[in-house]
Structure 1
Amino acid sequence: MSIKHLISGLNEFHDNYFVSHRDLFQQLSHGQTPEVLLITCSDSRIDPNLITQTQPGDLFVIRNIGNIIPPYGSLNNAEGAGVEYAVQALNIKDIIICGHSHCGAMKGLLQIGNLAQQMPLVYDWLKHYAEPTRRLVLDNYKHCPSDKLLKIAIEQNVLIQIDNLKTYPIICSKLHSGQITLHAWIYEIESGEVFAYDVSKKQFELLNRSFAVPNSLIGVHSE
């Protein structure tokens, strides 16, 4: 897709979508009130508003390579600043970490030695903040075929990022008082389906109309 195509799209947006939703954008010009923070990958195949069928202003979104949230106290943590702002300033009620199938970051993580020369910044990012995922997967599932190993890495990475979220004082406090809920999702590109982690079953289950949402809630504080 060329820049000319993007400019054409901008004009189409302004002349059609914007005009038909002018009241919405007028309202948004006075501030934002999203109730959901969605943390996902930078991958171009994922469009948070498209797959959730939400409007501008409905989601506060953080994106990076591998949908990673560095633990609290990490240096230069823009993701942490985004989480803090979403929870403190916007009073977010739900946080979703959404991984996806065929994740290039997780493929790279499983063969991280190959990244050091070609993409040193990607290597540093994954080595510093996704090493727990790599170690867990390779120590416990190295007998699995490569496609299965990748799927496990994608799932475990999302759950580890949920654990990282819990290291933030504001998240810990809100979880304790029941003011916030954490959700772990996997978006499957080839099927358009989303799988949510069900705590009671300790596995990812298809998120559809019959999904028992309370069972998907994770991060409830325990003494």
Structure 2
Amino acid sequence: MQKLIHGIRQFQQSEYRRKQSLFEELAGGQAPPTMFITCADSRIDPNLITGSDPGELFVLRNAGNMIPRQDMASGEAATIEFAVKALKVEHIVVCGHSQCGAMKATLEPESCESLPSVAGWLRNVKGVVERTLRRHGEQSPERMLDLVIQENVRMQLENLQSLRCVAEALASEQLQLHGWTYDIGRGEIESLDHERNEFATLFNDECYQPDESATGFA
């Protein structure tokens, strides 16, 4: 705890002072262009890996970056609805990550025997292992985990579209959805190509140029 308290002091004396005008502007309201849905894992820092300032990402985090289907009364559905209808975000990113504990648990359900709430939460990703096997067949345990992490991103993008507010925003072309996976050890992002339904490195440093015309999934 002392480390956190010391960090607050450092923030007030350095980062806040350097961006004081930004924080003063944000005190009056927010208008983030992007919603970022990712795992609660402590190793993921959405602002750090995207180089974003405060106010640029509207972040939703939970175990396994999951979105319950349809308009269920859940914190996730309420947060997404607020982002889409009140804040009018233009993009939603669903970002999985390497070595995800929630996805490991889908492969090893016995690991949740003493965690009933976790086991119940994993119902939101029921069938992800079977979907992965149909798509890729049997794989090594390490490769299987990576593929389940990718398949979960596909599944959560589908769940997103089952929410009425998201479906309406997509239909009116006010919103784009993006599926990413983040490799913690390498610092790399892979993005889901919707047309090919495959993941690929988000960009090549040598030839990267921002795509200003992307629509739908990225």
Q: Give, in whole Å, the separation in 1 of the partners of 2:210 and 2:86.
A: 31
Letter in 2 for 1:158: V
Q: Give, in whole Å, the separation in 2 of the partners of 1:6 and 1:214.
A: 42
Does structure 1 retain, via aligned residues, the 8 Å contact 2:98–2:181? yes
Q: Give, in whole Å, the separation in 1 of the partners of 2:114 and 2:148.
A: 22
SS in 2 for 1:67: coil
Partner residue of 2:217? 218
TM-score, scaled relative to structure 2: 0.92
Cα–Cα, structure 1 residues 87 and 216, in superposed 2: closer, same or farther, change >3 Å? closer
Q: Give, in whole Å, the separation in 2 of the partners of 1:138 and 1:200.
A: 21
Q: Give, in whole Å, the separation in 1 of the partners of 2:135 and 2:198.
A: 16
Give the drift of 1:174: 1.0
Partner residue of 2:145? 150
Partner residue of 1:182? 177
Q: Give, in whole Å, the separation in 1 of the partners of 2:127 and 2:169.
A: 25
Aligned residue pair count: 214
- Does residue 125 (structure 1) correspond to residue 121 (structure 2)? The answer is yes
Does structure 1 retain, via aligned residues, the 8 Å contact 2:71–2:164? no
Query: Gaps spanning 5+ residues in structure 1: where?
Result: none
SS in 2 for 1:152: helix
- Does residue 99 (structure 1) correspond to residue 96 (structure 2)? The answer is yes
Query: Gaps spanning 5+ residues in structure 2: where?
Result: none
Letter in 1 for 2:110: G
- Does residue 38 (structure 1) correspond to residue 36 (structure 2)? The answer is yes
Taking only the aligned residue pairs, the percentage that are identical comes to 36
SS in 1 for 2:14: helix
Q: Give, in whole Å, the separation in 2 of the partners of 1:60 and 1:122.
A: 25
Letter in 2 for 1:192: G
Letter in 2 for 1:48: P
1:46-125 matched pairs, under 5 angstroms: 46-74=44-72, 76-115=73-112, 117-125=113-121
The 4+ residue runs of structure 1 with deviation greater than 4 A are: 138-142, 210-216
TM-score, scaled relative to structure 1: 0.90
SS in 2 for 1:118: coil
Q: Give, in whole Å, the separation in 2 of the partners of 1:215 and 1:113.
A: 42
Give the drift of 1:103: 0.7
Give the drift of 1:152: 0.8
Letter in 2 for 1:184: G
Q: Give, in whole Å, the separation in 2 of the partners of 1:15 and 1:215.
A: 40
SS in 2 for 1:44: coil
Partner residue of 2:201? 206
Cα–Cα, structure 1 residues 112 and 138, in superposed 2: closer, same or farther, change >3 Å? farther
Give the drift of 1:200: 2.8
The range that moved more, 168-177 or 43-52, is 168-177
Q: Give, in whole Å, the separation in 1 of the partners of 2:116 and 2:133.
A: 22
Q: Give, in whole Å, the separation in 1 of the partners of 2:116 and 2:37.
A: 24
Deviations along 1:36-88, one digit per CA (max 9) or x if unpaired, are 000000011100000000000000000000000000133x4100100000001
Cα–Cα, structure 1 residues 80 and 184, in superposed 2: closer, same or farther, change >3 Å? same
Q: Give, in whole Å, the separation in 2 of the partners of 1:142 and 1:198.
A: 21
